[in-house]
């Protein structure tokens, strides 16, 4: 096979996947454990699919064997066709290794041999976990098509789970009563239970559609959430046991605030006492920015995101720490400065959304600080130098985060629109004595656009490299480049020359009014879409261009002014106004995005809006020789 008939563009597809999950009794620990036998076969169709040969398995290593997950029996093969014969090569031990992700989380990685377009790869392993109350979520859908995938989980009568499916594709499920037995020491424990079977056929790949925060949020899969454990005393089980695992968000918040490595680290009343009393500020904003700068000057981020707070005192002493340690220091600092503050717990966009149906703290992996000053609310993060008041990492701009106050009261907050995100660009254009287009650009940013700008800027090794990238991307030459920063605002200024546009022998001179700021492509050309459209953040972008009509020319043609909106609430606006005189052409462009998330059911209207916007952006100015 060289092409998968149900998706001719697929680089590979899952031929067969099977996972059998069941409970076992571990006599060494005198407790249940969860065992999973996993097998997968993948057909590689093109060179782009070869990276499927690189596998990885995440596992947890605790402080002792009773709290450590185990991977055993990892074997793999690559099958190739050589002169009509199947050649089988086995995964060698030297291509299996383990790397540290955090102090407790590890990853086993492996690479199957001799993989190329046309290969079939297969691997299998057994995964044992002492965390039997928490079966791992099973994801059927993939970024490549799945021909067949099956999950069977056998659950003893002692465990009662809630079951939840997610995604857009059909999952065939069946529940069958069954009998089970466990060897406990020298005795045999018999009980009833149920087998849950879930399978999918011909599952399409979840396309990597643009403007989606995390595609895993929409992958078709199934998850299990433990509701309760009920064990009655028997000859084999010495004690009866009952525990209700069905949590409320009140339970979650109470547990977090009572936990030493979270709420217990948010009570340092003496932190930064001398430094805070020495701060000079005329208002709350200045004081909060000073506190933010104080914490950042003391501790640098080690680029590790953590929700739980390990050792802030050590981080302060060493001058480096995790996000949890740094933001706990920030929280204590603003509290000790007299402000009302709380923590905002979240699952980062890159980590996927919090499942709200079954309350749990498992998905949280980050927190920031909320501060109330008078009638104003500010969100703060001290991990990065380019964060500011209500300017937090884009990854933190989630639509559901849990705000927790010191008294354990809580509420849900939407962080997508907390900033005043503005972009203002002014471009003045003339033609020099040689008839070459020259100009000056001034771009002023506030809010999240500042964060995004600095992220892009810091990817270059220095300013020269960054300028060179702008020149290459826009086909211009730049001089007098300057960046000016004031609090949460940034202004970028430079002069430019656009050699590709000049007056000359031609009778007509054609110019895109917005020059290199012109919209380059329509991001929503697909006729249909399955996933919602998720923009980074609301933003108000304006571009004003003033073009001096070159000597010897008159304006022959110009775009007409328009304004149109999207949605009943006009949540997205576009306007394009053109004003002309004998000496100048002025263009005022505005794109105002007031909504972050557009459901797929409204995609057609959104696509039409962007289609009109793109078409307008492609219209040109035509100057004609006198």
Strands (E), 299-434: 300-301, 320-321, 340-346, 366-373, 376-380, 401-404, 410-413, 422-431
Q: How confident is the model at residue 146 (pLDDT cuts 50, 70, 90)?
A: very high
DSSP code of 391? Answer: B
The Cα–Cα gap between 566 and 543 comes to 20
Whether residue 287 contacts residue 280, with contact meaning beta carbons closer than 8 Å, is answered with no
For range 46-72, the mean pLDDT: 93
Percent of the chain with pLDDT over 70: 97
The torsion angle over the Cα atoms of residues 245, 251, 252 and 258, rounded to 10 degrees, is -120
Give 487-498 pLDDT, tens digit per residue.
678 999 999 999
Does the pLDDT value for residue 246 go beyond 70? Answer: no
Residue 236 has pLDDT above 70, yes or no: no
What is the C-alpha to C-alpha distance for residues 365 and 446, in angstroms, rounded to an integer? 28
For 71, phi then psi, to 5°, come to -115, 125
pLDDT at 65: 87
Question: Domain coordinates of the chain in residue numbers?
Answer: 12-244, 249-413, 424-625
Q: What is the pLDDT, as a whole number, of residue 244?
A: 65
Q: According to CATH, what is the number of the domain 249-413? A: 3.10.620.30
Higher-confidence residue of 567 and 19: namely: 19
What is the structure's pLDDT at 357? 80
What pLDDT does residue 16 have?
Answer: 98
Record: fold of 424-625: Jelly Rolls (2.60.120)
Task: Name the least confident of 147-151, 268-272, 322-326, 515-519.
Answer: 268-272
Tell me what pLDDT residue 406 has. Answer: 83
Measured CA to CA, the distance from residue 17 to residue 204 in angstroms comes to 15
**Cα separation, 610 vs 618, whole angstroms:** 12
Q: Which CATH class is domain 12-244?
A: mainly beta
Residues 66-78 pLDDT 10s = 899 999 999 999 9
Residues in the chain: 626
| Rounded mean pLDDT, 197-212 | 91
In the predicted model, what is the mean pLDDT of residues 202-228?
89
How confident is the model over 105-118, as a mean pLDDT?
Answer: 95
372 burial class (0-12, 13-18, 19+ CB within 10 angstroms)? Answer: middle
Q: Tell me what the pLDDT averaged over the chain comes to.
A: 92
**Residue pLDDT, tens place only, 408-444:** 999 999 999 998 999 999 999 999 998 999 999 999 9
Residue 189 has a pLDDT of 84
Whole-number pLDDT of residue 125? 98
Higher local confidence (pLDDT), 64 or 398: 398
* Residue 234 predicted with pLDDT over 70: no
User: Quick one: pLDDT at residue 172?
Assistant: 96
Phi and psi based region of residue 567 (left: phi greater than 0; alpha: psi -120 to 50; beta: remaining): left
**41 near 121, Cβ under 8 Å?**
yes
- Identify the band that residue 359 occupies on the pLDDT scale cut at 50, 70 and 90: confident
What is the predicted pLDDT for the residue at 242? 60
pLDDT of 386: 84
Q: What is the structure's pLDDT at 243?
A: 63
User: What integer pLDDT is reported at residue 425 of this predicted model?
Assistant: 97
| Average pLDDT of the residues in 374-387 | 93
Average pLDDT estimate for 215-239:
77
d(CA 254, CA 264): 12
């Amino acid at each position: 096979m060289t092409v998968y008939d149900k998706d001719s563009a697929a680089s590979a597809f899952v031929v067969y996947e099977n996972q059998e999950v069941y409970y076992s009794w571990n006599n060494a620990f005198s407790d249940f454990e969860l065992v999973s036998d996993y097998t997968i076969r993948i057909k590689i169709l093109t060179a782009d699919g070869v990276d499927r040969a690189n596998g990885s398995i995440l596992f947890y290593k605790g402080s002792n064997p009773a709290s450590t997950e185990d991977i055993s029996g990892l074997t793999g093969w690559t099958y190739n066709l050589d002169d009509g014969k199947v050649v089988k090569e086995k995964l060698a031990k030297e291509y299996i290794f383990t790397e540290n992700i955090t102090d407790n989380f590890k990853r086993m990685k492996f690479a199957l041999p001799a993989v190329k377009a046309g290969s079939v790869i297969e691997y299998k392993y057994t995964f044992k976990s002492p965390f039997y109350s928490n079966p791992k979520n099973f994801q059927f859908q993939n970024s490549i098509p799945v021909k067949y995938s099956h999950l069977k989980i056998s659950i003893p009568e002692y465990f009662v789970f809630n079951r939840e499916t997610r995604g857009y594709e059909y999952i065939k499920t069946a529940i069958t009563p069954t009998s089970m037995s466990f060897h406990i020491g020298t005795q045999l424990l018999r009980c009833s239970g149920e087998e849950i079977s879930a399978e999918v056929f011909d599952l399409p790949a979840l396309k990597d559609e643009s403007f989606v925060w995390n595609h895993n949020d929409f992958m078709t899969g199934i998850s299990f959430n433990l509701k309760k454990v009920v064990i009655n005393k028997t000859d084999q089980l010495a004690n009866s046991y009952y525990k209700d695992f069905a949590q409320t968000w009140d339970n979650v918040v109470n547990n977090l605030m009572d936990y030493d490595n979270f709420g217990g680290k948010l009570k340092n009343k003496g932190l930064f006492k001398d430094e805070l009393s020495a701060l000079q500020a005329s208002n709350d904003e200045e004081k909060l920015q000073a506190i933010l700068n104080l914490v950042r000057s003391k501790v640098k981020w080690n680029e590790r995101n953590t929700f739980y707070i390990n050792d802030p005192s050590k981080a302060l002493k060493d001058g480096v720490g995790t996000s949890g340690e740094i933001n706990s220091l920030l929280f204590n600092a603003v509290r000790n400065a007299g402000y009302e503050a709380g923590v905002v717990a979240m699952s980062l966009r890159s980590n996927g959304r919090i499942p709200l149906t079954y309350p749990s703290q498992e998905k949280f992996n980050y927190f920031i600080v909320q501060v109330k000053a008078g009638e104003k609310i500010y969100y703060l993060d001290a991990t990065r130098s380019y964060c500011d008041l209500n300017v937090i990492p884009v990854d933190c701009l989630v639509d559901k985060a849990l705000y927790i106050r010191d008294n354990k009261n809580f509420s849900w907050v939407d962080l997508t629109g907390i900033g005043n995100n503005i972009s203002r660009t002014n471009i003045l254009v003339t033609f020099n004595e040689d008839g070459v287009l020259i100009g000056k650009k001034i771009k002023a940013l506030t809010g999240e656009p500042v964060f995004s700008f600095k992220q892009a800027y810091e990817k270059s090794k220095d300013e020269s490299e960054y300028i060179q990238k702008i020149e290459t991307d826009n086909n211009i030459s730049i001089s007098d480049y300057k960046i000016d920063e004031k609090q949460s605002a940034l202004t970028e200024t430079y002069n430019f020359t656009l050699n590709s546009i000049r007056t000359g022998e031609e009778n007509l001179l054609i110019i895109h009014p917005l020059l290199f700021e012109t919209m380059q492509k329509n991001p929503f050309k697909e006729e249909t879409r399955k996933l919602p459209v998720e923009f980074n953040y609301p933003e108000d972008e304006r571009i004003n261009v003033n073009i001096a009509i070159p000597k010897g020319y008159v304006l022959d043609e110009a775009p007409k002014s328009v304004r149109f909106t999207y949605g009943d609430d006009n949540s997205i606006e576009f306007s394009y106004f053109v004003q002309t005189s004998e000496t100048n052409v002025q263009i005022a462009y505005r794109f105002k995005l007031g909504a972050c998330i557009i459901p797929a059911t409204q995609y057609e209207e959104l696509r039409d809006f962007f289609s009109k916007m793109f078409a307008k952006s492609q219209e040109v100015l035509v100057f004609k020789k006198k």
